[in-house]
Structure 1
Amino acid sequence: MNINAGDFRRAAALITQHTSRDDTGCNAVLQEAAEAGRITELIVGILDVYETLTPILHSPLGIAALRNIIADLARREENEK
């Protein structure tokens, strides 16, 4: 499978749109990938971006950030009860 620059651009754009909770932006990226016949390549691109970022998450700063996220999600979960 050949993942190209467009696939990585769409992967980064989808991650960014999702992080911003922009459903319209997410749908636009998904539609573009579908029209290009590159949905599978988009998914692989997202996974490749994840693999690139994983070492950052294993740093002391990354672990601290994840702990903060977990604590925040635990508070939200408690408030939902």
Structure 2
Amino acid sequence: MRTCPACFKTLVKIKSDSDESEKQVCKNNRCLKSIFHSDAKCPDCGAPPAKILRGSNHYTSYLCENNHEFSEQLKPRPELYK
């Protein structure tokens, strides 16, 4: 089984809605490389997050690569539960 290169948890296979191909993703919500944080970008500079500061069921606070702190609402990922 393949593991996430960032957190070493087992990757899960999901099907993309846009096509029938499967891809493997990390579903660890505390991992920056997971499907939950893949779209996160700093609103000030557009940089990806470098660190998760705080997390809850609805929001995650990050520190970007340029040391800006920002929060984003977690996006639902129904493809994980098909």
| Same structural fold, with TM-score higher than 0.5 when normalized by the shorter chain | no
Normalised to the residue count of structure 2, the TM-score between the two structures is: 0.22
Higher Cα Rg, which structure? 1
Bigger strand fraction:
2
Normalised to the residue count of structure 1, the TM-score between the two structures is: 0.22
Bigger helix fraction:
1
Larger RCO (alpha carbons 8 Å, 6+ apart): 1
